[in-house]
Structure 1
Amino acid sequence: MDVAVLVLDIQKGFISDNARMPVAKHQIKPMLEKINKIVEKADSRGVPVVYIGNEYEPTQFIANFLTKKSAIKGSEGAELDERLLRVNEVYFSKNKSNALSNSNLVSYLTANKMNHIVIVGLFAEACVAATALDSIRRNFNVTIVRDAVGSSNDSKREKSLRYLNSKGIDIIDASQLIESFFN
């Protein structure tokens, strides 16, 4: 199969009760439920699931300032949240918004002939957008799952999804994804 699910930044620094840079509280539970369902369905159908997390070096002062020191490498905030369903150990760290800034991830996708990326996770207007836009520049097909991405508020999430859709990126709901890709 040429599809991979990228799970972006479901980390304690963003969704735990004491997150330094929190996602809107009302978005967390439904988002996690959708992501976990997608991960479970993808895994049951042999679709690769790739976990990605922010790990900013302590010397990345601007990134750490902008993210309120939420995901410093080695910190609790950089850890994947325990509520996230883990079906494998395929994990790539990043220290920029764009997940494809990690050349090992790009090599993994290319070596496994994955040309369609399904993106879930955080933040719609930041890492999700940066990864999606670079993915289409690199000639990947990209789908973002609307109800499996989060942001600090609903307005930012919806504005970002509208913008990404205007750039040719498919925006679908989790139920549509499961029906289209995993049945």
Structure 2
Amino acid sequence: MLDKSSNTKGADFEIDLKSSALVVIDELGDVESGQLSDVLLAPTLQTARLVDAAHGIKMPVIYTNDAHIPGIDRELLLWGEHGIAGSAEAQVSPQINVCESDYIIEKRRYSAFFQTSLRLLLDELEVGTLILVGFDTNICVRHTAADAYFNNFNIVVVPDATATFLVGEQAEGLEYMQKCYAAKLLNTDDIINLIEKKSTNL
């Protein structure tokens, strides 16, 4: 969590990569061959770059994946069958290089925090800043950002590694998280540049 002396006002806080984790939200299935490839492929490839960069400095990479139970999960009543536990569509996209050292958290609601072990894992890893990527910007990313803010984490959202395709507009969702959850917005290249600078100092 944040140190009590930390500045949490909007984009003012500095990113401490030593206490950061990359959280990949619902980047699932083979997006290259999917119906939404025109929307999802580009941000997925940006996430793949971030994952590789995070691996290079041993930053924790955490995948939070839909794992719905048919006939039980209320979310399926709204959106139809998707992300069914154990299915290929509930696995991390093959465009992303998952390593054995990465963590996978299964979730049944929008937020990656809701009744999962994510908070416990972050505490054990001594993480204070979450770098959020994934889909949908206005649903699972936004609800995860809300819970991260309520739990006093610093938040970075990566606009070019997220996408909106179900509700609202991308810019609107990003602005909401920036204003309401003090999220810092940094694109993939910005974060990779920070990681490369850290690597040269290792």
| TM-score where L is the length of structure 2 | 0.80
Deviation (angstroms), 1:181: 4.1
In structure 2, the residue matched to 1:45 is 57
Structure 2 CA distance for partners of 1:152 and 1:44, relative to 1, 3 Å: same
In structure 2, the residue matched to 1:170 is 184
CA distance in 2 between partners of 1:51 and 1:61 (Å): 20
Match of 1:114 among 105, 127, 135: 127
CA distance in 1 between partners of 2:123 and 2:109 (Å): 20
Specify every segment of 5 or more residues in structure 2 that has no aligned partner in the other structure, as ranges. 1-17, 198-202
In structure 2, the residue matched to 1:69 is 81
| TM-score where L is the length of structure 1 | 0.88
Between 48-57 and 73-82, the greater mean CA deviation after superposition: 73-82
1:99 counterpart SS class: coil
Identity, in percent, stands at: 19
In the alignment, does 2:200 pair up with 1:180?
Answer: no
In structure 2, the residue matched to 1:5 is 22
Equivalent residue letter for 1:122: F
Per-residue CA distance 1:103-148 (angstroms, 9 max, x = gap): 4111110011101000011110000000011101100000000100
Structure 2 CA distance for partners of 1:182 and 1:109, relative to 1, 3 Å: farther
CA distance in 1 between partners of 2:196 and 2:77 (Å): 40
2:70 counterpart SS class: coil
In the alignment, does 2:97 pair up with 1:81?
Answer: no
In structure 1, the residue matched to 2:12 is none
Structure 2 CA distance for partners of 1:108 and 1:145, relative to 1, 3 Å: same
CA distance in 2 between partners of 1:41 and 1:84 (Å): 12
Per-residue CA distance 1:13-45 (angstroms, 9 max, x = gap): 8x36346xx4xx323222122101100111101
Between 57-66 and 36-45, the greater mean CA deviation after superposition: 57-66
Between 151-160 and 37-46, the greater mean CA deviation after superposition: 151-160
Specify every segment of 5 or more residues in structure 1 that has no aligned partner in the other structure, as ranges. none
In structure 1, the residue matched to 2:7 is none
Structure having the larger proportion of residues in helix: 1
In structure 2, the residue matched to 1:27 is 39
Contact 1:31/1:148 (<8 A) preserved: yes
CA distance in 1 between partners of 2:193 and 2:105 (Å): 28
Pairwise CA RMSD of aligned residues?
2.0
Equivalent residue letter for 1:4: A
- Indicate the structure (1 or 2) with the bigger Cα radius of gyration: 2
In structure 2, the residue matched to 1:136 is 149
In the comparison of the two structures, how many residue pairs are matched? 178
CA distance in 2 between partners of 1:18 and 1:39 (Å): 21
